[in-house]
Structure 1
């Protein structure tokens, strides 16, 4: 009996480590307990020495991506909007875990003309990414890197290799927030943050 229990326990532990869906389920349970909240600083609280925020100086990140229909979009074209950029991969358990919370946030802002969501599958695995969204009943705006080598199309100031990574840009294209790693975006703190960034000139 004890041996059987140990085998089950080991199997569960290995599943959490190696099976993205199981890992995502475990992470979602931790989110419900209040773990993995994004560290949000409102723009008025961001200090001038914060290298992730340019204090009104307009940024000019060169980055473009394509949607599921092959249409190209760039960060330059999105200036004038607050942009929520989430970089993820289909095999990444933490990425999968946070997606339902991103959907909840998206549902609150999808009708706002001055907010854009870019859910960027980092490896251009289009078929698998579309299938994932369909199976999970998510309608997030799905994009892929425009370059043949995905890593070359994402500036290092935006993405340093950690999946998932979420970057929020203000209307001038400045980086207002970065979260490297999984977070729960279903709370009111992130809603308040986006609304304050929206209100900025």
Structure 2
């Protein structure tokens, strides 16, 4: 009897592991839970002394509106690279959406959520199905490797002078008070 119980528990454990590994929503749920207890925090940095030349780094939304990061000088830019199939991306989306809702009326902060696959119909459907309000774009130009090297999710925040203020690869809790305070500080600085 003990042998059967032990095998049953081992079998259930293996099934649980397979579900977490093979089902993106299950893995996202696990990561989201870990974020809520304090794991996966983005590190807020002091902006580097000189700004980057962001001109020519372009994104386009589903309506055909194009955004050039160089045209956004004087605004804080929150740039997130993600994909619908990426479990860590899915895990951080609720916190990113919460942060977006807090700042969407702030004219000093611009949010760009770049779908790494470039499939705007699919990514907009994903956002609508989950009731997220995040503005989705696709990359329309070369993106320097110091901004995005291919790791998903990647979040980059530039201050008003175009200086890199945060660069984080992997999931993070962007609704965290430190991030909210950091964006407020960048938004209200000169």
Structure 1 pair 8–131 and aligned structure 2 pair: CA distance change class (3 A): farther
Structure 1's consecutive aligned runs of 4 or more residues displaced over 4 angstroms after TM superposition are: none
- Provide the residue aligned with 2:15 in structure 1: 11
Deviation at 1:85, TM superposition (A): 0.5
Computed over aligned residues only, the root mean square deviation of the Cα atoms, in angstroms, reads 1.4
8 Å Cα contact 2:120/2:136 also seen in 1: no
CA-CA distance at 1:19 after TM superposition? 1.7
TM-score by length of 2: 0.91
Partners of 1:125 and 1:4 in 2: how far apart?
A: 43
Q: CA deviation at 1:199?
A: 2.8
Q: Which has the larger radius of gyration?
A: 2
Deviates more, 1:99-108 or 1:127-136: 127-136
> How is 1:1-201 mapped onto 2 (pairs within 5 angstroms)?
1-41=5-45, 46=46, 53-55=47-49, 57-61=50-54, 62-147=56-141, 153-201=142-190
**What 5-or-longer segments of structure 1 have no aligned partner?**
47-52, 148-152
Contact kept, 8 Å, 2:62 with 2:121, in 1: the verdict is no
Deviations, residues 116-174 of structure 1 (Å, cap 9, x unaligned): 11011111122321121011110111111115xxxxx2211101121110000111212
For 1:54 and 1:186, locate their aligned partners in 2 and report how far apart those are by CA, in whole Å.
24
Number of aligned residues: 185
> Quick one: distance in 1 between partners of 2:13 and 2:107?
49
Q: TM-score, normalised by structure 1?
A: 0.86
